[in-house]
Structure 1
Amino acid sequence: MKKEFAVIGLGRFGGSICKELSKEGWDVLAIDLDPDKVNEFKDIASHAVIADTTDEKVLKELGIRNIDHVIVAIGDNIQSSILTTLMLKELGIKKITVKAQNDYHEKVLNKIGADHVVHPERDMGKRIAHSIISSNVLDYLELSDDHSVVEVKAGLKMSGNSLVDLDIRAKYGCNVVAIKRGREVIVSPMATEEIVDGDILIVIGADKDISRFEKNLVVDDE
């Protein structure tokens, strides 16, 4: 059975999710209070409607109960975001993802039962900061408040050395969980695996340890 999605709030974040899901062929119900935004998505989403999602009656009329996953991407109105999430929860929506404006907003969303809370601006800020440190940092994913996964391209400081030579785990407290080499992916590489220039390392660890690892081994080669 095909999944159905609803995106509430068609700003930059909600709009991009709506476009991407639609592009992938999913059924998407796009909702916003702004007629101009709804008009913009009428030919992109399966359905685009002007609606106040803080009104339970309106949500029921939209048939929101039939939606598998609702993304609440309401912009600056934290009260509307919280009320909408609460209504969706009471209506028994299977999965609710909500965009949080700040840590306080996130705490409230978690308390009222949001399944997944995202901080797009904060998370993107972290990714960009890590890519600014070095162009060899290709991606950065936060796992928790203290742990992350980083994807780095091996440069001159690492190439030609084995993992045991670099002693990444002992020196930096990080683990290399995989190496991408062209189309090949080496999962749980042996300590004797020699790193080749251009290899992409997937490294997991505490943020403070990853920071030391980046500064010492991943900084751009002169």
Structure 2
Amino acid sequence: MKKEFAVIGLGRFGGSICRELAEQGMEVMAIDTDEIRVNEFALIASHAVVGDTTDESVVKSLGIRNFDHVIVAIGDNIQASILTTLILKELGVNKVTVKAQNDYHEKVLKKIGADVVVHPERDMGRRIAHKLVSNNVLDYLELSDEHSIVEIVANERLGGHSIIDLDVRAKYGINIVAIKRRDEIIVSPQANEAIKYNDVLIVIGADNDINRFEKKMLA
């Protein structure tokens, strides 16, 4: 079942999240006060809307409270970011992730109920998008434009199977290079190594192949 996201603010940060979520097949509503930016995302997002999210009536009209996750990626206007976040939480949005400009901004956002606060210089849009799509993805590190390393928590579908049973190299073109199991780290695990539920798998591969694996095995 597809998750539904709304991205408010389509600058470099919000735009990168919007693009990545759309590429992963998610339903995404893109929102900005700038009509030119909104038009840029008309063919990328499921819906692209010009709107001022500091106006509660506008937010209500967009039906945002029904979305699984809202990302507030408003640029330099800290007041608009805070007010938008406050409105979203008062309307009962389940999960709100907000971009903070500085530590003070982060403190305010947490006090008014933001579920996750990120700093763009530390958390790039693509990395966050992968974590949003699947609860099993712990971390996502880009090695290049096309290859990444991902930390994945083994779910029930993966647990109980050996690496050779899953055959992820042949099926998806990715490699499990290590397994974290409590305080133990298994480097270059053998093909007959059995994966246990809640193991953390360190996976390396091309982004397209990792995306296929996430959609098939972690959805």
TM-score tier after normalising by the smaller chain length? 0.5 to 0.7
Aligned partner of 2:214 in structure 1 is none
Distance 1:69 1:123, change over 3 A: closer
Aligned partner of 1:22 in structure 2 is 22
Equivalent residues in 2 for 1:31-42 (5 A)?
A: 31-42=31-42
Q: Provide TM-score, normalisation by structure 2.
A: 0.59
TM-fit CA distance, 1:184: 3.9
- Structure-1 separation of matches of 2:13 and 2:49: 18
TM-fit CA distance, 1:3: 1.6
Instruction: Give the counterpart letter for 1:39 in structure 2.
Output: N
- 1:113 is aligned to 2:106: no
Verify the 8 A CA contact 2:34 2:50 in the aligned structure 1. yes
Equivalent residues in 2 for 1:63-78 (5 A)?
A: 63-78=63-78
Unaligned runs of 5+ in 1: 125-138, 141-150, 152-181, 195-201, 203-222
The ranges of structure 1 where at least 4 consecutive aligned residues each deviate by more than 3 angstroms after the TM superposition are none
- 1:185 is aligned to 2:178: yes
* Aligned-partner SS, 2:114: coil
Instruction: Give the counterpart letter for 1:109 in structure 2.
Output: L
Q: Provide TM-score, normalisation by structure 1.
A: 0.58
- Structure-1 separation of matches of 2:62 and 2:107: 28
* Aligned-partner SS, 1:44: coil
The structure number with the bigger radius of gyration is 1
- 1:94 is aligned to 2:94: yes
Aligned residues: CA RMSD: 2.4
TM-fit CA distance, 1:83: 0.2
- Structure-2 separation of matches of 1:57 and 1:19: 27
Distance 1:110 1:37, change over 3 A: same
Unaligned runs of 5+ in 2: 125-140, 143-148, 150-174, 189-201, 203-219
* Aligned-partner SS, 1:121: coil
* Aligned-partner SS, 1:120: coil
Residue correspondences, number:
140
- Structure-2 separation of matches of 1:15 and 1:61: 22
TM-fit CA distance, 1:107: 0.3
- Structure-2 separation of matches of 1:123 and 1:21: 15
Alpha-carbon deviations, 1:96-155, whole Å to 9, x = none?
A: 00000000000000000000000011456xxxxxxxxxxxxxx69xxxxxxxxxx9xxxx
- Report sequence identity in percent: 72
